[in-house]
Amino acid sequence: MLVLFLCSQCQWEHTGSFEAVCAKFEGKFDYAIIEGKVIDGTGSPARVADILVQGDSIVYVGPVDTSRIQAKMIYATGQLITPGFIDVHAHGDPFEDDFSNFLSMGVTTIVLGQDGRSPVSAFEDPNSFFDSLQQKSFMINLAFLSGHGDLRQKVQKGKQSELSMEELSEMLRILRTEMIAGTFGLSTGLEYFPGFLADRQELDSMALTVSHEQGLIMSHLRSEDDDKMNASINELLAQGQHCQVHVSHLKVVYGQQESRAEEILDRLEKAAESGIEVSADVYPYAASYTGIGIVFPEWAKTRSDFENAIQTRQQELREFLYQKIMDRNGPEATLFATRPFTGKTLAEVANESGQDFVDILLKIGPTGASGAYFVMNESIQERFIVDPNTMISSDGGPNLRHPRSYGAFAKIIQKFVMDEKKLSLESAIRKMTSLSAETVHLTNRGALKPGYKADILVFNPEEIVANSTYENPFEPATGFSTVMVNGALVKDQNKIVHWDTGRILRKSISVAK
């Protein structure tokens, strides 16, 4: 068993026996990261120290006498040494994507299966899903959630109705099977089909199952509109009576004053004080990204419901779409990210075609496009970002046309730490590492400590740049020059040198390839 003790000479924790001291810490190691400023991810002040890595783990953090060790030296003079970042809300296809966009911004672990959609449910046996991934190579670590929407469709087989008791029982059985196989919990997308069909009994039943398997529920709330946020949060907190809950990509659509952020944060804090285990993540952009169905009413979100609405409620649908778009800052605030309108706003498409923007939406339909939506108040979002209890996410993916996919974590360093000094380096790193690991229950990750997995970044914070923009969203971030994943160099002096260092992380166990 690994034994840690506090060294009397350097005041760092070491592995070994109580008799060992810094001067005696010698031998052969795989890597020694020397002379850097260590920010360990816990929020503790930065300290000049060295790190020794053996196999996939950190074995020592503290001063090293390099004459007494044998190791490949990584000199970090004048640079930071931090844990690799953890993205608790990410998207992508694990069978198709290489996830290099995340690596470029210092992310070494991502959590997939968000908003009620998860690739795990595509397999009848979730163990087969995880076994299939073992045949692939990844640069970073992947963790997964089960997806409520996929589970619901799996048991309803295309129906759009309240679950029968038999269907609910089957859905819970599958959820339990997936969590036993290794998912870290459940994601819900209650603003999307079929998530919005879920009632209180269904939500409570899922929460009880998640609690039994000691996971968490990450939720895209039923609505992120300002006038519905309180009810949406309360609905999630009701599930929090049974299990750990988490607000995905915290935002307020239509919110106008920073005081609104204070109200929401205060609501979450009071819930935590009452014993509910609740958390939230946020990304550093004022535009969201999702399918165009977000602006359609619940009774016209699916293709069949939309076609029925065109026949029976067209004028009502037109009025709804007009008001929804105007409430969301007008047609200029919707930027298409899919063909044939990629890079154009809804207003531009309407003007070029000589049609009303409502006609454009009716022609596209609720499933025909995706885009970015400039619907958030920047001061509200920045208040969420700097709060010590929120963690950072990207809500991005390799092919998702939004700058957050390639820039979110770099932007936190560049803008909020270096340029505007709204966050200290220590607090920013904590929000991107240990806080995320603790929330998702990723064991032995998210901090630079002996016994923790060696997911490590070496970089100069002054060189970090988030290069992606809304016009050019696929520009990788720059500045994270050296990246180690599970004790192996993935990126060395800005060059990717290995593609197979990542692991598939499963709850309670971490399966190596």
pLDDT 10s digits, 485-496: 999 999 998 899
CB 279 within 8 A of CB 389: yes
pLDDT tens readout for residues 38-68: 999 999 999 999 999 999 999 999 999 999 9
Element (H, E) at 237: helix 229-239
Residue 53: closest CA among 77, 67, 38, 74: 74
Q: Domains (ranges, CATH) in the chain? A: 85-285+395-444 (3.20.20.140), 289-373 (no CATH)
The token pair at 375 is 């619907």
DSSP for 181-236, please give it.
HT--EEEEETTSTTGGG--HHHHHHHHHHHHHTT-EEEEE-S--BGGGHHHHHHHH
Helices 357-364 and 346-353 pack at an angle, to 10 degrees, of 100
How, if at all, do strands 370-373 and 334-336 pair? antiparallel
Give dist(CA 112, CA 147) in Å, integer.
10
* The residue type at 168: L
Q: Give 92's contacts (C-beta < 8 A, 6+ positions apart).
A: 99, 110, 112, 397, 398, 399
Within 13 Å of residue 217, how many CA atoms lie on the same side as its CB?
33
Give dist(CA 274, CA 42) in Å, integer.
25
pLDDT confidence of residue 19? 38
The token pair at 334 is 């919707």
pLDDT at 12 over 90: no
pLDDT tens readout for residues 375-405: 999 999 999 999 999 999 999 999 999 999 9
Element (H, E) at 69: strand 69-75
For residue 505, how many other CB atoms are within 10 A of its CB?
Answer: 22
pLDDT confidence of residue 6? 59
pLDDT confidence of residue 14? 55
Average confidence (pLDDT) over 445-450: 98
Average confidence (pLDDT) over 116-143: 96
274: Cα separation from own chain's centroid = 26
SS (H, E, C) 285-346: CCCEEEEHHHHCCHHHCCHHHHHHHHHHCHHHHHHHHHHHHHHCCCHHHEEECCCCCCCCEH
Backbone phi, then psi, for 254, in 5-degree steps?
A: 80, -5
Give dist(CA 115, CA 6) in Å, integer.
43
pLDDT class of 26 with cuts at 50, 70, 90: confident
Q: How far is CA 495 from CA 100, 142, 223, 491, 510, in A?
A: 12, 22, 42, 5, 27
pLDDT class of 157 with cuts at 50, 70, 90: confident
DSSP for 241-292, please give it.
TTSEEEESS---BT---HHHHHHHHHHHHHHHHTT--EEEEE-S-S-EEEEG
CA angle, residues 442, 124, 194, in degrees to nearest 5? 80
Q: Give 283's contacts (C-beta < 8 A, 6+ positions apart).
A: 89, 249, 392, 393, 394, 395, 396, 404, 408
pLDDT class of 158 with cuts at 50, 70, 90: confident
